[in-house]
Structure 1
Amino acid sequence: MIRTIFFDYDGVLTTDKSGSLTTCRYLSEASGIALSTINAAFHPYAGDLFTGRARHADIWSGVCESLNSDLDIGLLFEAFESTPLNGAMVSLARTLQAHHSIGIITDNPIDRMDHLRVHQDLDSLFSPIVASAEVGSSKQGQEIFLSAMSRASVAPEECIFIDNSEPNVAMARTLGMHAIFHDDGKNDIDALAKELRRLGARADS
Structure 2
Amino acid sequence: MVTGVLIDWGGVLTTSLTDSIARWIAADRIDADRYYTVMRELIDHAYQGGDGESLVHALERGEIDGPSFERDLAARLLTMDGAPPVAEGLLERMFSGFERVDAMYDMLRDVRHNGVKTCLLSNSWSHTYPRDGWEEIFDAVVISGEVGMRKPEERIYRHALGQIGLAGEECVFIDDIEANIVAARALGIAGIHHRDADTTIAELETVLRLTLRGKDRHHGLDQAL
Do the structures match in fold with TM over 0.5? yes
Find the aligned partners of 2:73 and 2:122 in 1 and give their Cα distance: 24
- 1:94 matched residue in structure 2: 109
Residue 185 of structure 1, CA deviation:
5.5
TM-score w.r.t. the length of structure 1 is: 0.76
Runs of 4+ in 1 over 6 A off after TM superposition: none
Find the aligned partners of 1:121 and 1:197 in 2 and give their Cα distance: 23
Q: Does 1:62 align with 2:72?
A: yes
CA shift digits 1:100-142 (9 cap, x unpaired): 2221112332x22xx1144x54344223221233343333321
TM-score w.r.t. the length of structure 2 is: 0.70
- 2:203 matched residue in structure 1: 192
Secondary structure at 1:53 match in 2: coil
Larger radius of gyration: 2
Q: Does 1:174 align with 2:171?
A: no
CA shift digits 1:47-91 (9 cap, x unpaired): 321232212212223333334335263453244332122322222
Over the matched positions of the two proteins, sequence identity in percent amounts to 23
AA of the residue aligned to 2:101 = N
Find the aligned partners of 1:30 and 1:171 in 2 and give their Cα distance: 36
CA shift digits 1:19-70 (9 cap, x unpaired): xx46643431221112233445664732321232212212223333334335
- 1:34 matched residue in structure 2: 31
Q: How many pairs were matched up?
A: 194
- 2:129 matched residue in structure 1: 116
Q: 1:81 to 1:34 in 2, by over 3 A?
A: same
> Over aligned residues, Cα RMSD in angstroms?
2.9
